[in-house]
Structure 1
Amino acid sequence: MMTYLRRQGLRIGGFILLLIAYLSNSILLEFATKYASKNAGLANRFIGAMLIMVAAILVLYTWLYNRQLKRHNPRQFGHQAFNRHRLGQLLLAFVLMLAVQIAWSQLISHHLLPMPTNQSALDGQIQQLPFWNTVYGVVIAPVFEEYLFRGFFFNFFFSKNSPWSNVFGVFVSGLIFGYLHTMTFSVTTLFYASLGWVLAGAYLYFKDIRYSIILHFVNNLWAVL
């Protein structure tokens, strides 16, 4: 029992450290956004530091993820060839995510649900520093978040290939994904969690993290168009 608890403690600690690395990187972008209109030179230095950190985190995440799969990979995650059939299924997953967002926006427009509190903050950041906030939200964030909330999360905590592990893993993965987008438990958390559930389901179904990254990328791209 003590060995199991120690192992789980190390996994939780490792996951938190990987999450902190990602959040620290996003803070650099927040500082760049803050100083964009006040001190362009300082903002550019923050952007430079952010890009260096992005490269370092990407190398770390990719190496660690592939290392984990080599050690223990009962679901046979890897690179599944892209073909018309899989891309069609991926499109259906995007349509599902789009349906969730349309339904949610309709509930907001009819004053049945509140506007997400973080949305206005995100819109303000994009206005202050449009190019880098858009690039980060559309390209960088999907890669890091899929490694964290799908790849590492399942490898650390739900690595067994069983119905219980798959279903509960998808549920918890989406819930954490939703909470970290709102930093509070509210009805809006369920909105982001539902998107996380679709992404987690796609990761397990396609058995290739590139599919969930593409799905996440297309969804975020659609949101800024």
Structure 2
Amino acid sequence: MTYIRRQGLRIGAFILLLIAYLSSSILLELATKYAGTKVALAEQFIGAMLISIAVILVLYTWLYQRQLKRYNPRHFGHLPFNRQRIGQLLLLFLLMLVIQITWSQLIVHHFLPMPSNQSAVNDSVKQLPFWNSAYGVAVAPVFEEYLFRGFFFNFFFSKKSRWSNILGLLVSGLLFGYLHTLAFSVTTLFYASLGWLLAGTYLYFKDIRYSMALHFMNNLWAII
């Protein structure tokens, strides 16, 4: 199999995994849309969303573990949580808070515009508070870390080298930022900076649960 064909297949597989994640978020959007007018229909969409989340979670976990068993030169796996690692994770969270607070102050003082996707998220939470909050805090961090850190590095930057780590981190963050804004702007760099921090966490701890935990804390803080 040629390199171009192999990379094409990997890109196609990544896109399909991304579509699977987006399908669950679309079901939540539909539930939110009908929450105030057609309650029974909204509840059906919520049920379909929960089923899709369960299926996608099983699929992602199985595929990720399968990839690591087949080729894992960086030795990604499960590292036990201890005081030192928890302390390091909290320091990374403080750094993420600094980024978030700095960005919010720039918005408050009208140096930067409010991200359009954040406005949409705020509106969704108002219409369907519990499910949108639960999805943003508990579901999105898991699926996005599997996608933008786990699968992304396994598919495209799996070699154990300094340049592979650096390029993988940069591209992962940029992709993460672009898919949150769907346009290149200053706001893209904000989300990209969060993506770079999450990718760095994944590569440093070599355990995807740590980047998931950091992503979870960030989203929880944003909602609170």
Query: Which interval holds the TM-score relative to the shorter structure?
Result: over 0.9
Q: Give the deviation of 1:120 after TM superposition.
A: 1.3
Q: Give the deviation of 1:108 after TM superposition.
A: 1.3
- The answer for the alignment partner of 2:103 in structure 1 is 104
SS at match of 2:194: helix
- The answer for the alignment partner of 1:191 in structure 2 is 190
Q: Give the deviation of 1:38 after TM superposition.
A: 0.6
Structure 2: 5+ residue stretches without partners:
none
Structure 2 CA distance for aligned equivalents of residues 85 and 121 of structure 1: 38
- The answer for the alignment partner of 2:143 in structure 1 is 144
- The answer for the alignment partner of 1:75 in structure 2 is 74
Q: Give the deviation of 1:112 after TM superposition.
A: 1.2
Q: Give the deviation of 1:34 after TM superposition.
A: 0.1
Q: Percent of pairs identical after alignment?
A: 75
- The answer for the alignment partner of 2:214 in structure 1 is 215
Task: Write the mapping of 1:1-225 to structure 2, written as runs, cut at 5 A.
Answer: 3-225=2-224
Residues 49-68 of structure 1: CA deviation (Å, up to 9, x unaligned): 00000000000000000000
Residues 166-209 of structure 1: CA deviation (Å, up to 9, x unaligned): 01100100100011111111110111110000000000000000
Structure 1 residue ranges, 4+ long, deviating more than 2 angstroms after superposition? none
Structure 2 CA distance for aligned equivalents of residues 137 and 111 of structure 1: 26
TM-score, normalised relative to structure 2: 0.99
Amino acid at match of 2:45: F
Residues 101-123 of structure 1: CA deviation (Å, up to 9, x unaligned): 11111111221111111111111
Structure 1 CA distance for aligned equivalents of residues 33 and 76 of structure 2: 40
Amino acid at match of 1:141: A
Structure 1 CA distance for aligned equivalents of residues 28 and 18 of structure 2: 16
Structure 2 CA distance for aligned equivalents of residues 16 and 185 of structure 1: 20
SS at match of 1:108: helix
Structure 1 CA distance for aligned equivalents of residues 34 and 121 of structure 2: 16
TM-score, normalised relative to structure 1: 0.98
Amino acid at match of 1:135: A
User: Superposition RMSD on alpha carbons, in Å?
Assistant: 0.7
